[in-house]
Chains A and B, each alone.
Chain A
Amino acid sequence: MTEFKRMDGRKLTEMRPVAAQVGIIPNADGSAMFKSGKTIAYAAVYGPKEHHPRNQRNPKKGTLRCRYNMISFSVNDRIRPGPSRRSTEISKITEWALAPALMLENFPGMVIDVHINIIQADAGTRCAGINAAAMALAHAGLPMNDMISSVSAGKLDKTLVIDLDKAEEDFEEGEGPTDIPVSMTHSGKVTHLQLDGKINKEELKEAINMAKDACEEIYKIQKEALKNVGKLIEGDKK
């Protein structure tokens, strides 16, 4: 059986070329850029600070507040500026993906704001956003017990792959595409998992394993970027 050929020639477990840079927004307490293929995400962290409105304060621990936003010209069909149901959902998913790494008990009543903007989109935007946000949170000097890395695993017809691009997301043959964004701590705990498509549970378990390996590669780039603030770090070109 011949191996499934991906449209851009990548191997099944091969990610798109990645790049990262920490410290891109001087005003922010922490900031970072993460690029995966043609998808570019910027993240800025402000906090911990006083939480307004007061009635939303949590007296027991700090609140992580994420805002994911795709800028209007990041995609082919212009997005009307402002929040959408999709961006609201992704904002919450991002909070859940990142919160386990933060030690929020240290900041009762305070808030940490994370702003993620997708500058250019070619699928995998929520994962790129989470990768950028994780670096920005560390850069902001927040106490964290681990790093978070994120990648989308997937299935094209019957073949499991890593890191779907937009063309692959639109793939219609056979069983169609299945998109599985996953976020994990470096120690391997899953903090975020979503899926849409068609897959059986054995394939899904395998996909999560593949995602774990890919997250390890992403972690290396995030670490390198944090150790070299201000420098653009590019992944190995294959």
Chain B
Amino acid sequence: MEEISLNSKKIAEYLNEGKRFDNRKPEEFRELSIETGVSLNAEGSARVKLGNTDVIVGVKLATAEPYADSPNKGNFMVSAELSPMSSSRFESGPPKFPVIEFGRVLDRGLRESGFINWEALCIKPGERVWTVFVDIYTINDDGNLMDAAGIGAIAAMKTAKLPAYDEETKKIDYKNPTENPLPLNNVTPIAITAYKIGNKILVDPTREEQDAATARVTIGSSDGIISSVQKGEETPMTPEEMGEAFDLADKAYKEVFKNLEKQIK
């Protein structure tokens, strides 16, 4: 009795009148709280709560050889776990498509936006570069894990500090972080996912609202420049609906951005 179809129908009907069960507007996000420095062995970390949705994100740095086609650029990898502790719907086991998509969509949003200063992650061209690992774990699923995780990734990366690296021994001293922040550029790539319920579009659904949705589109953008998009699920969307999704995501971006700036010091 996970998804209650009676409620899904009601949610769609109500949304047709532009209303949501918790009185939010279609472009409105729930109360957002961001706490950084929550896991101290990580180089950067953040805990994000969006209503009852709760995720934790950590940044770890390691060194490696660069890829052959980008000898003076650092590496980047985003992984996610839809942890079984966060919902009875998630199972333990090897990653399946939903969680793989989760990680890859967020990865693209962060990667394509120019957020990371790739060249500044180079230690010795052709030989050694920093690899940035962003790992996401869900703590409680009440809908919209994707966007919450994306906000967490930004917060964790913006507050991350490079560990000390000894060029001679090629060893990283994790116990002694430097004051050097992770080299980032001045963009804030926030992923906002718009969901289609009936013929209407909304953002930041609760779990119940997400169950009522038939399609979704995640838009990664920074200051109006869209750098990644992914439409998911089987139901098609009209170009008008797509346009509405972009508009809603843009409105939501502005609010989330303000909130992020305020909460990350």
Contacts and interface: CB of A to CB of B under 8 A. Distances in A.
Interface in B52-71: 52, 54, 56, 58-60, 62
A25 B140 contact: yes
B174 A27 contact: no
Given A25-B54, A25-B139, A78-B62, A73 B41 contact: yes
Contacts, number: 83
Interface residues of B, number: 32
Nearest to B163: A76
A26 B85 contact: no
A117 B137 contact: yes
B226 to A, nearest CB: 30
A224 interface: no
Contact of A71 (B54, B58, B59, B141): B58
A77 B135 contact: no
Contact of B56 (A43, A76, A119, A122): A119
Chain A interface, >50% SS class:
loop
B39 A120 contact: yes
A212 interface: no
Interface of B: 38-42, 45, 52, 54, 56, 58-60, 62, 79, 81, 83-88, 92, 94, 133, 135, 137, 139-142, 174-175
23 contacts: A26-B52, A27-B86, A28-B85, A43-B85, A44-B84, A44-B86, A46-B88, A71-B39, A71-B56, A71-B137, A73-B42, A73-B60, A73-B133, A74-B41, A74-B42, A75-B41, A76-B174, A77-B174, A78-B62, A82-B94, A115-B83, A119-B38, A119-B56
Given A71-B56, A78-B62, 15 more contacts: A26-B140, A27-B86, A27-B87, A27-B88, A38-B40, A71-B137, A72-B79, A73-B45, A76-B175, A78-B135, A82-B94, A115-B84, A117-B85, A119-B38, A121-B41
Interface of A: 24-28, 31, 38, 40, 42-44, 46, 49, 67, 71-78, 81-82, 113, 115, 117, 119-122
